Structure 1
Amino acid sequence: MMFIPKTRRLLFAAAALITLNKPAMAATPPDDNLKPAYIMEVMHRVADWQLNAWSTNGFNHPEVDWTNAACYTGIYALGNMPGNEKYLKPMVKIGEDLKWNTGKRRFMADDYCIGQLYAQLYMNYKDAKMIAAWKTQADSIIAKPHNESLEWKNGIANREWAWCDALFMGPTALAYLSKATGDTKYLDCATKLWWKTTDYLYNPAEQLYFRDQSFFGKKEQNGKPVFWSRGNGWVLAGLVRVMENMPANYPDRTRFEELYKNMAAKVASLQQPDGSWHASLLDPGSYDIKETSGTGFYCYALLWGMNHKLLDDKKYWPVVKKAWSALTSSVHADGMLGNVQPIGASPDKVTDGSTEVYGPGAFLLAGVQLHEYVTAHPQVYRTKHQK
């Protein structure tokens, strides 16, 4: 267990509304989980559980690690909502503890995933130290030739975005820095490298990404290619987070939107009757249980498209409504999100008791987008008796 100083424990405790001693909640009636008050309550419960877990037990992974960085994206999104500013405080404290540095592997996307948090916090507080180190590192990244093959060998992941997860870690950090600084060179690099990875790992016939080159030709038990749910969730969530920082007239904007719409349609077609996406997209029967990290990222990305008028509400609302139900039914009474597949690189088993920090991150990203959507479309949760 990692030791956490008393002042640090108090900070997290102040940020968290501790819910561990609350009695189990009754099942939420259908559609009640779409009401803004419920969405906010369950987001608080999930975020508070995670903050309390860090405060009580320490970090299971280094604070700078990609696992935690993915969680920070969701906590930041919640904290950026009016009235929820207290959730930003522990994010600032983490940055201060890390002296606003990224991980040790300077060209490994996992190690600079946290750069997106730094850039977002900078846009809130305008404190130059928050992005100074990340900006210097980003300059060194864009100065590289990036001319190696993405074949999965020779430690290529330390130098290139050679695995699909990297599309949530790397281009997002550069894209948020581009918005924070107003310098498009960071977005230009993110765009160039996005398409390099896509040209190598994207399967146009299936409209999905292989996890990395080692999965070319691999088959599931039913004979279908291996397309990992969370892997493609990383991609789709990364895609919208890049577009979020892309000007409307950006040269490649249309190309990104086309990729997004194609992936969104494919992903929606693979949703399971329980509202989730199982660990294997094309062989859900071999992993016959809902998986909430991939589901959370899909729910987030589809809602983002609806909120930004890129997806048709009538087509996608039933999809995200079922996905949100699958997600909220996996939240334990104390706020722990279950059914999160452990760290891995391919489809694997999952249980109601399994959780990891990126799961709550995805859940909170989805919840924030859902709250925005239902607030703008109150008819989706009001009954005929409510006005």
Structure 2
Amino acid sequence: MIKKILIIGLFAGLINAASAQQKAMLRLDSIRRAMDKVVIWQIGEFAQGHVKSSEIGWENGALYTGIIALKKLNNVPAYDRFLYNIGEKHNWDTGPYRLFADDYCVAQMYTAMYLEHHQPKMIAKWTKLADTIVRRRFNDSLAISAEITHKEWAWCDALYMGPVGLALLTKATGNPQYLNKADSLWWKTSAYLYDKQEHLYYRDNRFFTQREKNGQKIFWSRGNGWVIAGLAHMLELMPRDFKNRKLYQQQFKEIAARIAALQQPDGSWHASLLDPVTFNEKETSGTAFYCYAFAWGINHGLLSKKQYLPLVNKAWAALITSVHPDGKLGYVQNVGSGPIAANYNSTNTYGVGAFLLAGTEVYQLYKK
């Protein structure tokens, strides 16, 4: 009997300790310190030349979206200077493939900086490219190929890379044609890649018939993270009376509900959403996007706080425990077009961008 009491007491103590630790992670000062720690480490990597890819490529374009979000919360001059210097270094231009969504992801940063600083050079080249996108008919098949990705949004990641920059340009210029084009292209891609039964996106058409080792369909965590984060951005930018707003809200809620049911006990999501055993480690880029989207959904009245807040708290804890003592974010799946195992030492800039998005939205959630 005494042994049983001691065991019960031990478990109760562990639960209380875990609860206290989670509460500490969710204090406003703790959230802000965590974001500063991670972004300072990442900016330091740029300063030392430890950049794995083009500074204006999609990986870093996604990072900049997170820093833009953080700047709205904590406008440290060094963060603004970092982004401004990137733009200046590259003459506020996008990547070499003009219709490739990955290559104009960086335009989100340019346009956000323009909205703050009002320097026409920041969006001059992007506006010319966007005008080309508006004029193009986009009537190709979305069957994946190297050629088609330079013409169409044929992979689900593109729904983060492409439409938000166009929607931001409508906000910056007042011209609705950019948002309207983003809207038409969004629903073309959705009609092709969105599984209406599973309420998840395939990464591209190659995955329609592929299966995981457990026989389940292959739905990539970060891929669906790109989409639900893109949905949140689009909803935030479009007018409240926008013609298809309710369709975006419906899809956001559908995906959120499906993703919520797939959260792992430690609060994370693994690289493959329906096979967390084969991919048995947490994965932080997808987890961060889901944490962000759920917190954003609560903050904007689209998701139930009672239902989703515990999921946000667990996801944020999974993210915080992935940060190295020096600020490096671990468990970020490497660049890929589908699920790949992650580990404590794997990192990349897009994961940091997603982490910053999550942190800024969790901060707003607890600031209220």
TM range (shorter): over 0.9
**Whole-angstrom CA distance in 1 between matches of 2:53 and 2:207:** 27
Matched, 1:218 2:210: yes
| Partner of residue 366, structure 1 | 358
Matched, 1:251 2:243: yes
**Whole-angstrom CA distance in 1 between matches of 2:317 and 2:363:** 14
Matched, 1:147 2:134: no
**Whole-angstrom CA distance in 2 between matches of 1:45 and 1:59:** 18
Work out which of the residue numbers 57, 71, 92 in structure 2 matches 1:79.
71
Report if the CA contact (8 A) 1:78-1:84 is conserved. Answer: no
**Whole-angstrom CA distance in 1 between matches of 2:100 and 2:72:** 28
Matched, 1:195 2:195: no
SS in 1 for 2:274: coil
Work out which of the residue numbers 256, 260, 265 in structure 2 matches 1:268.
260
1:80 positional shift? 2.1
1:85 positional shift? 3.9
1:324 positional shift? 0.1
Aligned length: 350
1:59 positional shift? 2.1
CA RMSD of aligned residues (A): 1.1
Matched, 1:165 2:157: yes
Report if the CA contact (8 A) 2:22-2:313 is conserved. Answer: no
Matched, 1:34 2:22: no
| Partner of residue 340, structure 1 | 332
Q: Any unmatched runs of 5+ in structure 2?
A: 1-17
Work out which of the residue numbers 87, 93, 100 in structure 1 matches 2:92.
100
TM-score normalized by the length of structure 2: 0.93
| Partner of residue 10, structure 1 | none
Aligned residue identity for 1:298: Y
Work out which of the residue numbers 192, 198, 209 in structure 2 matches 1:206.
198
1:176 positional shift? 0.9
| Partner of residue 57, structure 1 | 49
372 and 111 in structure 1: CA distance in 2 versus 1, 3 angstrom threshold: same
Work out which of the residue numbers 290, 297, 311 in structure 2 matches 1:298.
290
Q: Any unmatched runs of 5+ in structure 1?
A: 1-26, 377-387
SS in 2 for 1:57: coil
Report if the CA contact (8 A) 2:56-2:103 is conserved. Answer: yes
Report if the CA contact (8 A) 1:72-1:91 is conserved. Answer: yes
TM-score normalized by the length of structure 1: 0.89
Aligned residue identity for 1:205: Q
Aligned residue identity for 1:340: V
1:60 positional shift? 1.7
Deviations 1:143-185 (A, max 9, x none): 1110001011361101000000000000011111111111111
Report if the CA contact (8 A) 1:236-1:301 is conserved. Answer: yes
1:348 positional shift? 1.0
| Partner of residue 301, structure 2 | 309
Deviations 1:186-207 (A, max 9, x none): 0000000000000000000000
Matched, 1:175 2:162: no
| Partner of residue 15, structure 1 | none
SS in 2 for 1:274: coil
Report if the CA contact (8 A) 1:236-1:263 is conserved. Answer: yes
Greater CA drift, 150-159 or 303-312: 150-159
Segments ≥4 residues shifted beyond 3 Å: none
1:349 positional shift? 1.2
**Whole-angstrom CA distance in 2 between matches of 1:256 and 1:297:** 17
**Whole-angstrom CA distance in 2 between matches of 1:245 and 1:219:** 36
Identical amino acids, percent of aligned pairs: 48
**Whole-angstrom CA distance in 1 between matches of 2:75 and 2:39:** 15
